Amino acid sequence: MPNTLPLAHAPISQHTTDTELAALAARGEQAAFEAIMRRHNRLLFRTARSILKNDADAEDALQDAYLRAWRALDGFRADAKLSTWLVRIVANEALGRLRRHQATLIPLDAAMNATEPEIQASLTDTPDKRPEQFAMRAQMRQLLEARIDLLPEVFRTVFMLRAVEEMSVEEVSEALGIPEATVRTRFFRARGLLREGLASQADIALGDAFAFDGARCDRIVAGVLARGGAEGLSRKP
């Protein structure tokens, strides 16, 4: 039998595919869009934060991006990955906020040869005054987050998506609209800059970097659902 989409009020579970959720959400099913948000919140928050470097700004950008995506779900093509489509929307929203604040993106060539003392010191410095417990996982995670924040923007988002979220080169290329060769180059350079300061400890805390706790997830979901309801984007089951 051919696969069919679940009925509008059929139970939604972890086995409901992104394509099915998108189709239901496009018809106004609030529960389906909530499931989409909870499934992709961490990836998309990390994407926004890698660009904006601020938790509160990233949350605001993510909520606006979700609303933009919700309004545009009718145009989502099922032959594409929903996560990739969402990453592109979130990245565009975050980058738009940077432009509105007149932030200047560092050109790729200039960034690769950056000599700013703050960036170089943060990425390559290995001070001897670190306490012994500095090697603990939680502290290493904080250090890694801080160093990722100091990467030039053109490297930071690629690194976040490739190393932390483990997206493929092809997925990052499609999501950010850049060639695969550029993804590989930026990821290689970002990893090299981090390793200059972190050496072999760079990979210890990648899985925990920019932890996405339940409270933040609930806050973002509640905010988007409230605004979506006000715009008439949803109907409760």
89 shares a domain with 149 = no
26 shares a domain with 57 = yes
pLDDT tens for 154-165 read 889 899 898 888
pLDDT tens for 121-134 read 444 444 444 444 43
146 shares a domain with 128 = yes
- Has residue 13 been placed in a domain? no
178 shares a domain with 165 = yes
- Has residue 222 been placed in a domain? yes
What residue has token string 């609030």? 30
What residue has token string 């990893």? 191
38 shares a domain with 60 = yes
CA distances, 141 to each of 109, 209, 223 (Å): 29, 6, 28
pLDDT tens for 163-176 read 888 889 999 999 88
pLDDT tens for 14-52 read 888 999 999 999 998 999 999 999 999 999 999 999 888
pLDDT value of residue 212: 67
pLDDT of 144 over the 80 cut: no
What's the rounded mean pLDDT across residues 3-18? 67
| 47 within 8 A of 161, measured Cβ to Cβ | yes
CA nearest to 233, candidates 36, 25, 60, 18: 25
CA nearest to 97, candidates 26, 47, 146, 168: 47
What's the rounded mean pLDDT across residues 214-234? 85
- Has residue 181 been placed in a domain? yes
CA distance 218 to 228: 15
Average pLDDT along the chain: 77
Per-residue b/e over 209-233, b at no fewer than 16 CB within 10 Å? bbeeeeebeeebbebbbeebeeeeb
- Print the domain residue range for 77: 18-102+213-230
pLDDT tens for 87-105 read 999 999 998 887 776 444 4
Length of the chain: 237
With bands split at pLDDT 50, 70 and 90, how would you rate the model's confidence at 77?
A: confident
CA distance 234 to 17: 19
The tokens describing 188, both together, are 């290689």
Predicted model pTM: 0.65
How many domains, the chain? 2
pLDDT of 177 over the 80 cut: yes
- CATH code, 143: 1.10.10.10
87 shares a domain with 59 = yes
199 shares a domain with 168 = yes
- Has residue 225 been placed in a domain? yes
| Residue 202 DSSP one-character state | G
- Has residue 3 been placed in a domain? no
194 shares a domain with 119 = yes
Rg (CA), the chain: 19
Phi-psi region of 140 (alpha: psi -120 to 50; beta: other; left: phi over 0): alpha
pLDDT value of residue 41: 93
pLDDT value of residue 72: 92
| 87 within 8 A of 175, measured Cβ to Cβ | yes
The tokens describing 81, both together, are 């990955």
